[in-house]
């Protein structure tokens, strides 16, 4: 048995019979978008919790009725103004399973083309491209983004076995 102690627009918090605080959070996606030159699309995004911005791979929450891949396609278009000809699901899992049920699906997007984008919530401050290996270090403060880029590098490696 658990009781609800908070319900907001994004999360709900419960306390279970053992006193554990449990957070219900929507699932999300992270996209490693890599072009033919081996560059990765990144965005600098407002993150109020950090007191500033973070450099990240495109990402976002899965809306009701969307599949993870549909969300990944939408977020890549909105945040980067890109569409991809090829998609690969790289994996996924819980972001912080000790207290939160958020699951993150990781995708690789290739064969990229520009379509323009609108950034509907206005959180993207900058769009940029970095070589994949450099991008892995650049997003080090955001573990899910770094994981997506590491898995993308592994999948794209000519020596993968």
Query: Which of the four pLDDT bands, split at 50, 70 and 90, describes residue 160?
Result: low
132 falls within a domain: yes
User: Looking at the domain assignment, is residue 140 inside a domain?
Assistant: yes
Statement: residue 161 has pLDDT above 70: no
For residue 107, the cross-strand partners are 31, 89
Q: Look up the CATH number of the domain holding residue 105.
A: 3.90.79.10
pTM of the model: 0.92
Report the distance separating Cα 95 and Cα 13, nearest Å: 16
72 domain residue, yes or no: yes
Domain contains 21: yes
Q: The tokens 């959180």 sit on which residue?
A: 123
Residue 123 inside a domain? The answer is yes
Residue range of the domain that includes 89: 3-156
* Residue 159, Cβ density class (10 Å: 0-12 exposed, 13-18 middle, ≥19 buried): exposed
> Is residue 161 in a domain?
no
pLDDT at 122: 81
For the record, the structure tokens of 77 come out as 């278009």
Number of domains comprising the chain: 1
Q: Kindly report, residue by residue over 132-146, the tens digit of the pLDDT.
A: 999 999 999 899 999
Strands (E), the chain: 2-7, 12-16, 21-24, 28-33, 39-47, 52-56, 59-61, 82-94, 103-114, 124-131
């Amino acid at each position: 048995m658990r009781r609800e102690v908070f319900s907001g627009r994004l999360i709900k918090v419960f306390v279970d019979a053992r006193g554990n605080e449990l957070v219900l959070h929507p699932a999300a996606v992270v996209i490693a978008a890599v072009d033919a030159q081996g560059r990765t699309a990144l965005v600098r995004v407002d993150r109020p919790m950090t007191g500033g911005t973070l450099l990240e791979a495109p990402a976002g929450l899965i809306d009701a009725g969307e599949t993870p891949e549909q969300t990944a396609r939408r977020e890549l278009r909105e945040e980067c103004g890109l569409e991809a000809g090829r998609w690969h699901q790289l994996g996924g899992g819980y972001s912080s399973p000790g207290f939160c049920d958020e699951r993150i699906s990781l995708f690789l997007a290739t064969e990229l083309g520009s379509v323009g984008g609108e950034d509907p919530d206005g959180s993207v401050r900058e769009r940029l491209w970095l070589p994949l290996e450099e991008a892995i270090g650049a997003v080090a403060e955001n573990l899910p983004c770094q994981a997506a880029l590491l898995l993308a590098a592994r999948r794209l490696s000519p020596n993968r076995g």
